[in-house]
Homo-oligomer: A and B are copies of this chain.
Amino acid sequence: MRSSFPYLIVVTGLLTALATMSVCAQEPIAPIEPPAEIHMAKSALGKMLYFDPRLSKSGYLSCNSCHNLAMGGTDNLTTSIGHGWQQGPINSPTVLNSSLNLAQFWDGRAADLKEQAGGPIANPKEMASSHALAIDVLKSIPDYVTQFRLTFGDATINIDRVTDAIAEFEKTLVTPGSRFDQWLLGDADALTDNELAGYQLFKLSGCVACHNGAAVGGNTYQKMGLVAPYQTDNPSTGRFAVTGKDADRFMFKVPTLRNVELTYPYFHDGAAKTLSDAVDTMGKIQLGKAFSEPGNEQIVAFLKTLTGVLPEVTLPQLPPSAADTPQPQPFE
A residues touching B (Cβ–Cβ < 8 Å)? 51-53, 58-60, 65, 68-72, 75-77, 81, 84-85, 87, 261-262, 264, 273-274, 276, 310, 312-318, 320-321, 323, 327-328, 330-331
Contact = CB atoms under 8 A, between A and B. Distances in A.
A262 B77 CA distance: 31
Contact of A85 (B68, B84, B261): B84
B273 A70 contact: no
Contact of A320 (B60, B262, B328): B262
A315 B316 CA distance: 10
A331 B59 CA distance: 21
Q: What is the total number of copies of this protein in its complex?
A: 2
A239 to B, nearest CB: 28
B330 A81 contact: yes
Contacts of A328: 76-77
A273 B316 contact: no
Q: Tell me if A's interface is mostly helix, strand, loop or mixed.
A: loop
Nearest to A322: B274
Contact of A70 (B87, B262, B316): B316
A329 to B, nearest CB: 10
Contacts of A71: 53, 318
Contacts of A85: 84-85, 330
Contacts of A84: 85
A141 to B, nearest CB: 12
Given A52-B70, A274-B323, A315-B315, 12 more contacts: A53-B68, A53-B75, A58-B77, A59-B77, A60-B81, A87-B330, A87-B331, A264-B321, A273-B323, A273-B327, A310-B317, A314-B314
Contacts of A81: 58, 60, 330
Which of A58, A71, A321 neighbours the largest number of chain B CB atoms within 10 Å of its CB?
A71
Contacts of A310: 317
Given A51-B70, A273-B323, A323-B274, A77 B330 contact: yes
13 contacts: A58-B77, A59-B76, A60-B75, A81-B330, A84-B85, A85-B330, A261-B320, A264-B320, A264-B321, A273-B327, A274-B323, A312-B315, A315-B315
Contacts of A77: 58-60, 328, 330
